[in-house]
A and B are shown apart, each in its own frame.
Chain A
Amino acid sequence: MSEQTSTSWQPSASDFAPKPKHQTADAITRPAMSYWQDAWRRLKENKRALFSLYLIIGLVTFTLAGPYLWTIDPSAQDLDQIGMAPGADRNVTIAPAYQPWYGPTDDQTYANDNALGLTLVGNATSQAVRLAWRGNDYDQADYGYKIYRTLFPLDAGDAFGLPLMESKNHYFEDRLDLQPTDYYYTVVALDSQGVETDQFATLKLTVKRVITVLEAQQRGLTKNGPVAEGEQIKLALHPFGTDYLGRDMLARLIYGGQVSLFIGIFAPLLYVLLGVIYGSIAGFMGGAVDQLMMRFADFAVALPFLLFMILLKVIFGIGPGESGVLPMLVAMVILLWPAPARLVRGQILQIREEGYVSASQLLGAKTNYLVFRHMIPNTMGVILVTITFQVPSAIFTEAFLSFIGMGVAPPTPSWGSMCNDGIKSMLTRPHELFFPALFISITVLAFNLLGDGLRDALDARMRNRE
C-alpha cells in the first residue's frame, strides 16, 4: 500500500532475482494405472466374474487339496452301501457270520394267521431272509411253490411283485440285494401244471442291516476298539453317497476333477499358445506366407477329431484298459489350434495398419520391438478370453469322450465317465448322475462367466471409461 503512494517506482535488486524453482502448477491427474491394474479393477467391479473366479479357485483347491483332506480311496468298494444316497441311514448291527441254511428244523412252529403257515425263521437281516411254510391244505397234493417279493404294500388282486424262485421245498432263503427297508414276501402254491392257484400267503418283514465282525474289520470300522456281536455301529460315512459299486462319490468327484480340470486347463493353454504363435507369424508376415499358413489352418479344421483321437491311441500304443487322457490332450492340441490362430491373425493384421505402429516403424523400431511392445499386448485380451472360453469346451470334450468310453480307463474316474455310469440308474439313484453333472455344469458356467468378465475387463477400448 505504501509503495503505491510513492510517486516513482524504484527497482531493487530483489526484483531481478530468479523465481524459486520448486513452484509447480496444480496438476490434475489421477494415479497412473497400468493396463493390467485397470483390467483387474474393472474385473473386480464385475461381481459375477469375480464370484466365478473364486469358484474356479475353489474347484481347483477342491481337486488338488481334496485327496489330503478326504483320504478315502476312490476305487474302494463298500459293498454294504451300494448306491446309497447322501445322508442315508448308516446304522448297522454286528451279526454272526453267514451259515448256509438247509431248511427249517423238525420242531419249527408255523404261523396260523395265513393260508400256508408262512413264517419267518430267525431274524430278517440284510444277510438273508429265511422263510418256511407248512404247505397248502393237506388234502391237496404238493406241486411246488412260487416265491415273490415286493417293496410296496399289496392290495387284493395286485401282482405279487418280483418272482424270486420256484421251488418244491417248503422253505426259501432270499439273499438278493436286501436293503434295510420293508419287504412283502408272498408264497403261492402251484397246481400240477405249474400254474398258480389261489392259495397264497403274504408276510411283511422289516429287514435289519447287519455285517459280520470280519467284514467290520475289513471295512475299517473297528477303529474305536473291537466290536462284538449284537453291537450297533455306524458304517463308513459317504457325504455324497456311493455309486453302483459302493465307491465313495466325494472321493471320485475329487479324483475325477483332477482329470477333468487337467484336460480342461492344460489343453486350451497349449493349443491357444500354439494358435497364438502360428496366427501372429501369419498375420505379421502377411502376403503369400499368410495365405499358405491360413490354408493349412483351414485344412486342419477339416480333420475329424474323433478319428484322430482313435488314431493317436493306436500310435501311442495305448492298449485297451489304459488311460486315453494323453492322446486326448495331444489330439486337442494338434486339432483345435486353428480357431485361436485365426483370431490372433485377424487382430495382428488390424494392429499392423494402426498409425502408432507405422510411427514406431518410422522411428526405427525393429521387428522384435514391434511384436513385443505393440502386437502382443494389444492381442492379450483376445488371447485370454479365448482361453477361458476354450476351457469349458475342453471339459465338455473330455466328459464326452469319457462318456463314450474313449477317455479314462476304469477304475480311474472322471466327471464325464461318472455321468456315463450314473445315467443308467438315473431314475432310481439320481445322485450318481446329479453330482458329477453338477460339477461339470458349475465349472463350465464359472469359466464362461469369467471369460465374459475378462472380455469386458481386457477390452482396451473400454479402458479409462466411466
Chain B
Amino acid sequence: MRSKSTSNSNTHSNSLSRQLGLYFVLAIVFVAGLLLALNQLAGLMGTATQEAQAVDFANNSISAVLREEPPQLDSSKATDSTSGLVLGHIMEGLLRMDLQDRLSPAIAERWEVTPTHATFWLRKDAKWSDGKPISAADFIFAWQLALKPETGSEYASLLYPIENAEAINTGKLPASALGVSAPDPHTLVVKLTRPIAFFDKLVVFPTFLPIREDFYNATQGRFGSDAKDLLYSGPYTIKSWVHGASMLLERNPHYWDSNRGKLAQINFAYITSDATATLNFFKDERIALARLQAENLTEALRLKWPIRRFADGTVFYLEFNHREDHLSRNLNFRKAIQHALDMEELVYKVTKLPGYLPGKSLFPEWLIGVEKTLREEYPASTVTVDSAKARAYLALAKEELGLAEFPEITLLTSDNPVSNIQSEWLQEVLKQTLGLTIKIDKQIFKQRLAKMSSGEFGLLLGGWGPDYNDPLTFGDLFASWNLNNRGRYKSEQMDALVATAQNATATPDRMKAFGAIQQQLFDDVVILPMYERGVTYVVHPQLKGVKRRVIGAETDYTYAYIDPDA
C-alpha cells in the first residue's frame, strides 16, 4: 500500500514536471512568435514613421525631435525653451549670437548704447517672409504689445530698462508712451530709464523680436498659434505644423543672410520627451541628434557613436525657505545642511551624468567677467563637508529655536528621474548625518511653480537658466523684490549689491558687485549650489555645424549643413 502510493506520486510528479516543461517551452515559443508578428505588423502600419530620415542629402534635409509641443509661437509671450528653439530658427531680431557666442549684427547692421539711449540702424535688405521690408515700426509694435497688461507676457520685465515700460506694463500709461521712436523706417532709437551696460545683449531675447502690426491684426488673436498665423523674419518658415506630432521647417526665400539656412528643410518629425524613444529613433537613423541619459551611455559607447557635450548654462541649487516660522530661517540650521551635503558626491557618484559640474556658486562657470570668466576673477568660497561640524551647527540651531525635536521638513521637487534620485539621496544623507526627517513632495511643473510662489515648502530643489548673457540674469535672483526669490530671502545688503550691479555702467564695478553677491550668498547660506547642468548628445556623423547654445535656441541648426563624405 505504502510503496504503491509513492510510486504513484512519483509518476505523478514526473508527468507534472514534463507537463510544466512543455508549457514553459510553448510559452517561450509563443511569446517569441508574438513579438515577431507584432514587429511585422508595426512595420506594415507605421508608414508615417518611415518617412523621417536622419539625414537626406538628395533633398538637403534633416530630421530631428522636439522635446515638447510649443504652446504657441507668439514671441511676445514665449517663455519655454522649445518655443525659444523654434523661434531661433524662424525669427530674427536686431542682434544675435554668432557661432562663437559673440554678439553680432542681425537685422540691425550696427548699434550704439549710451547711458541714455540705444540706437539701432536696420539693414535695408531685411524682409519678412511675404517679401515686405522689416522696419523699425515692427519692433516698436512688438515691444508695445509685450508690455500691454492684457497680453500678460511673463517676460515683459526684461523691457523695463526702456522709458515708461514699467508704467505701461502696470497699466498706468498707454502703450504709445513707450520711449522708443523711429526717426526713419531703418533707425530705432530707444530711450533708457537708467544706464544699462548690457542693453544690446538683452535684445537677443525672443521678447524683443519684431511683429508686424497689420499681420498681427489680421490674425484676429490667433497670432502664433499655427503655421499660417505667423510671419517670419528668420532663415526658416514653418511649412506645416501638425500639433502634438510634428513640425516641418522650410528655408525662407526672402531671408537676407546666405550664410544661414543652408539646409533646405528641417523636419521635426517627432514631438516626444521620452529618452528611450529618442535614442531608438537615433539608432534607426530617423533623427540626426539625440540626447543621452546616464542609463544609455554605455550603449552609446559600445556602439561607438560620436558623443558630444555642452553645458546648457542652467544652475541648480537647494533653496531654503526664509519666511517666518520656517526652520531654515535660522542661519545655523542652514549651515548644518551646508556642512552635511557633499555636492561632489552627488554629481560624481549619484547622478553621475557626464557634463555635470558640482555647484560652487550661483554664478555658473561660463559667465564672462571683466576679462576672464567671472569665477576666475572672483573664486567661489567653499566649505569642506564635515558631519561633526554639521551636527554642532544643528545643535546650535536647536538651542536657538528652542526645539526639543525637529519637525518633518518638506522637500519640494519636480517629478523626473534625475530629481527623484537627488531628492532620495538628500533625504538619506540628512537623515544619516543630522537625523532630520525629510518628506519628498514631487510635483509637476505648474503645481510646483504654484507651491514655490506660495511658499509651501521647507526646502526646494530649484534651478535657474539664463535669459541673457550677463551675470545679472543670475545676480538679481535673491533681491527682496524679485518674485523668483522663492524663499523670500530679504537682506538690505543684498538689495544694495543688486542695485549696484544693475545701475553701474563700468564693467569692473559691476563684476565686483557680483563677486560680493556671490560671497554674501555663501556667508549667509541663502542657497546651496548643487550643480551646473550639462547635456550629452549624439549627432549624425554627416550633419555638421550644429550649434548648441546657452541662451536662445538650445539647438541651432541655422548654420548646419550635410557633409555626404563624412
Contacts and interface: CB of A to CB of B under 8 A. Distances in A.
Contacts of B295: 424-425, 427-428
A463 interface: no
B425 interface: yes
A406 B212 CA distance: 49
A218 to B, nearest CB: 8
Interface in A62-91: 75-77, 79, 82
Nearest to B536: A162
B549 to A, nearest CB: 15
Given A320-B443, A428-B295, A176 B16 contact: no
A47 B299 contact: no
Nearest to B428: A77
Given A151-B301, A163-B308, A410-B440, A177 B352 contact: yes
B309 interface: yes
A177 B536 CA distance: 15
B352 A158 contact: no
Given A162-B536, A175-B344, A151 B298 contact: yes
B428 A75 contact: yes
B295 to A, nearest CB: 5
A163 B423 CA distance: 27
A345 to B, nearest CB: 36
Interface string A375-399: 0000000000000000000000000
Contacts of B349: 79, 82, 177
A214 to B, nearest CB: 10
Q: Which among A163, A321, A410 has the greatest number of chain B C-beta atoms within 10 A?
A: A321
Interface string B404-426: 00000011000101001101110
A79 B439 CA distance: 21
A75, A76, A177: most-surrounded residue (chain B CB, <10 A): A177
B389 interface: no
A164 B350 contact: no
B69 interface: no
Contacts of A321: 410-411, 439-442
Interface string B2-23: 0000000100110010000000
B441 A411 contact: no
A158 B304 CA distance: 7
A319 interface: yes
A161 B441 contact: no
B352 A176 contact: yes
Contacts of A347: none
Interface in B329-365: 344-345, 347-350, 352, 354-355
Contacts of B427: 410-411
Nearest to B352: A177
A322 B536 CA distance: 35
B16 A163 contact: no
A427 B344 contact: no
B12 A47 contact: yes
B439 A411 contact: no
A47 B10 CA distance: 11
Given A151-B298, A320-B442, A409-B440, A159 B306 contact: yes
> Which one of A75, A151, A320 has the highest number of Cβ atoms from chain B below 10 Å of its Cβ?
A320
B305 interface: yes
B472 interface: no
A173 to B, nearest CB: 11
Q: Which bucket holds chain A's interface residue count?
A: 20 to 34
B441 A319 contact: yes
Contacts of B304: 150, 152, 158-159, 161
Contacts of B441: 319-321
Contacts of A322: 439
A207 interface: no
Given A320-B410, A427-B296, A411 B348 contact: no
Contacts of B380: none
A41 interface: no
A120 interface: no
B297 A162 contact: yes
Nearest to B293: A424
B307 interface: yes
A175 B12 CA distance: 60
B302 interface: yes
A234 interface: no
B428 A159 contact: no
A405 interface: yes
Contacts of A424: 295, 417
B536 A411 contact: no
A274 interface: no
A373 interface: no
Interface string A314-345: 00000111100000000000000000000000
A162 B440 contact: no
B428 A76 contact: yes
B442 A161 contact: no
Contacts of A175: 344, 348
A75 B432 CA distance: 10
A164 B354 contact: yes
Given A48-B16, A405-B415, A245 B301 contact: no
A410 B309 CA distance: 32
Given A321-B440, A427-B295, A163 B354 contact: yes
B421 A162 contact: no
Nearest to A176: B348
A40 interface: no
A47 B9 contact: yes
Contacts of B411: 321
A159 B350 contact: no
Interface in B427-454: 427-429, 431-432, 439-443
Contacts of B299: 427-428
Contact of A319 (B417, B429, B439): B439
Contacts of B417: 424
A405 B423 CA distance: 15
B354 A162 contact: yes
Contacts of B300: 162
A428 B298 contact: yes
A284 interface: no
A176 B351 CA distance: 10
A158 B309 CA distance: 17
Nearest to A174: B348
Contacts of B440: 320-321, 409-410
A163 B537 CA distance: 10
B457 to A, nearest CB: 10
A244 interface: yes
Contact of B301 (A77, A152, A176): A152
A75 B347 CA distance: 20
Interface string A139-179: 00000000000111000001101111000000000011100
B560 to A, nearest CB: 15
B12 A79 contact: no
A231 to B, nearest CB: 22
A151 B302 CA distance: 8
A10 B372 CA distance: 146
Contacts of A151: 298, 301-302
B298 A409 contact: no
20 contacts: A79-B349, A82-B350, A82-B352, A152-B302, A158-B304, A161-B307, A162-B536, A163-B309, A163-B354, A163-B355, A176-B354, A177-B349, A245-B424, A245-B428, A320-B410, A320-B441, A320-B442, A427-B295, A427-B296, A427-B299
Interface of B: 9, 12-13, 16, 295-302, 304-309, 344-345, 347-350, 352, 354-355, 410-411, 415, 417, 420-421, 423-425, 427-429, 431-432, 439-443, 536
Interface of A: 47-48, 75-77, 79, 82, 150-152, 158-159, 161-164, 175-177, 244-245, 319-322, 405, 409-411, 424-425, 427-428
Given A79-B345, A321-B410, A405-B415, 6 more contacts: A76-B428, A152-B302, A159-B304, A159-B307, A162-B297, A409-B439
Closest 3 CB pairs of A and B: A321-B439, A177-B352, A320-B441
